[in-house]
Amino acid sequence: VPASFMLHDRNGDPYAEFGVGQTHFSPGSSGLNILDHRSGEHREAATADFIDYIKVGDQLKSIRLLATAFSSKEIEPLVSDAWRLYLLLKHTTKAYVSGAFSEEGVPRLLQLMQLYRSDAADLAARPMSICTVTASGQFSYNEDSCGNLIDFVEAGIPVEIVPVTLMALNAPVTTLGAAAFHTAEVLAGVTMAQLIRPGAPTLFGGASAAFHMQNTTSPMTAIEALRLTAVGSLMGKHLGMPTQAYTAFSEARVLDAQAGAETATGALLAVASGMDSVSGPGMLDYLLTFSLPKLVVDDEIAAQALHFGRDVRLEDDIPTTELIKELFAEGHVLVADHTMKHWPTALHLPGPVWDRDARDTWASKGELGIGARATAEVDRLLESYEPPETDPAVDAEARAIIKSGLSGGGELPAER
C-alpha cells in the first residue's frame, strides 16, 4: 500500500497530498435532507440546494475537499450518484470524495471523471477523487461493495475502506476489542484492493459508532465512538497507511451548542491522531441532514483544529534572553521584532462566523448569535461565487451519460 498519494483538481493540477502529515477536511456524504438556511425548514434536498452547497463549499479555505454530500429528490435513484458528481464537476474545480450507490453506477462515475482527463490512463495518473467502499459487517463485503472496489481500483481511483463498526452491536463494546474487529474488516478490503491492483492507493477508513441500547440509536459522535475513531487512525498510521474517518459532524438537529461541541471534538481528535481525510462537516442528525450555516461554522472549526495541530518547533524564541530584555525595557513584547515577524502565523484570527469582538462592537453589529452570523456568511458566499469555465461540449456529453441511465428516456432536473 502506498504510504502517500496525490489528488489533483478538475484541471489536473496537484491539489491535496495524503499520507504526509496533513489533515484534509471534506463534507459528509450521505445526506438526504437539508435544513433550509432561509426558512429553517427541514425538508428533502433538491438540485438547487446542491448547487448552493457547491457555491459555498468552493470558497471555503479549511474544508479543502468537497464531496457528493447529499442526494437530490428530483433525480431517479439509479443515477442519483452520477447527478451529484456531474453538478460537482460543473460548478467547482476542487478535488472531492465520492462513491457509487450500486455496482452499475461506477462506470458512469468513471465516464464523468474521464471527461476532464485525456484518457483512462491520465485519470489513473491524476485522480481527482477518493471513492468510498463500505464493508457490510461481520467481516464481509456485499456484491455492490466488491463490484465498486474492483471497478474503482482497476481505474486507478484511490479508495477509502470504511467499515461501519458499531460498538456493542456488531463489534465488542470495549475499545481494544472493537479496534481489533475494525482493523480486520479494513485489512480485508485493503487486501482485496492490492490483489486487484498492487500499489493501489488505499486509505484505512472508518465510520465508528456506539449502539446505545436505551435509545436504540447508534451515535457516531458518542465519546467512546470518537475514541475508537482516533484509535483507528493511530492503527492505520502504525501500518504505514493514509487514514480516513467519518467525524467532525453532529447528531444534533440544529446548529446549537451540541453541534459545535461534537464537531469540534471530532475535528481536534482527527488532527491530533494524524488523520489524513475527515468526512463530516456540514452534517447533522446522524448524517442525514445537511446545513449550509453549519458548513461555514465547521470551516472555522476545521481551521482552528488545523492551527492546533501545527508542529511545535523553535521559532527564534529559545533562548528567551532577548525577549526578556524587551519585556523589561518596554513592559510588553507587542512590537518586538519577534512578535511582528511571527504573529501572522502564530495567531489564528477567526472569520466572521466566530464572535471575538468586544461586547460593544458585538452589540453594534446587531447582537447576532452564531446561527445568524453563519446564515449571513452563507448569503455572502452565494453572492460572491464565481463559476469555473466548463466546455459546453463536455457538459453536453456529461448530461448524455446521465440521461442514458434514466428509465424511459426522461429529462434531467432543472439546475435552478
Which tens digits make up the pLDDT trace of 227-249? 999 999 999 999 999 999 999 99
Whole-model pTM: value is 0.96
What does DSSP say about strands 283-284 and 209-210: parallel, antiparallel, or unpaired?
Answer: unpaired
Cell 456540514, residue located:
282
* Digit-coded pLDDT (tens) for 156-168: 999 999 999 999 9
Per-range mean pLDDT, top range of 4-18, 98-112, 134-148: 4-18
Please return the burial class of 360, using the count of CB atoms within 10 Å of its CB with bins 0-12, 13-18 and 19+.
exposed
Output the CA–CA distances (angstroms, integers) from residue 192 to 103, 140, 158, 162, 400, in the order listed. 16, 12, 13, 14, 33
What is the tens place of the pLDDT at every residue in 380-391?
999 999 999 999
| Band (279; pLDDT cuts 50, 70, 90) | very high
The domain limits of the chain are 5-308
* The C-alpha cell that represents 315 in the structure block: 521559532
Whether the CB-CB separation of 149 and 138 falls below 8 Å is answered with no
Report phi then psi at 33, rounded to 5: -120, 165
As given in the structure block, the three cell numbers for residue 62 are 479549511
- Would you say 277 and 288 are in contact if contact means Cβ atoms under 8 Å apart? no
Strand order in the sheet with 202-204: 66-67, 96-98, 129-134, 159-162, 202-204
Residue 69 above 90 pLDDT? yes
Residue 407's pLDDT is 85
d(CA 91, CA 102): 24
Per residue in 311-347, pLDDT (tens digit) is 999 999 999 999 999 999 999 999 999 999 999 999 9
CA angle 225/231/234 to nearest 5° reads 150
User: Whole-angstrom Cα distance, residue 183 to residue 362?
Assistant: 48
**pLDDT at res. 243:** 99
Position 416 scores a pLDDT of 73
Tell me the backbone φ, ψ of residue 18, rounded to 5 degrees: -115, 140
For 97-143, give the DSSP string. EE--SSTTHHHHHHHHHHTTSSSHHHHHHS--EEEEEE--BTTB--H
Distance CA 7, CA 65 (A): 10
Q: Pull the grid cell for residue 384.
A: 460572491
The pLDDT value recorded for residue 137 is 84
Fold classified for 5-308: TIM Barrel (3.20.20)
pLDDT at 411: 86
Burial 176-197, CB ≥16 within 10 A → b, else e: eebbebbbebbebbbebbeebb
Write out the three cell numbers for 181. Answer: 474487529
Burial of residue 345 (CB within 10 Å: 0-12, 13-18, 19+) is exposed
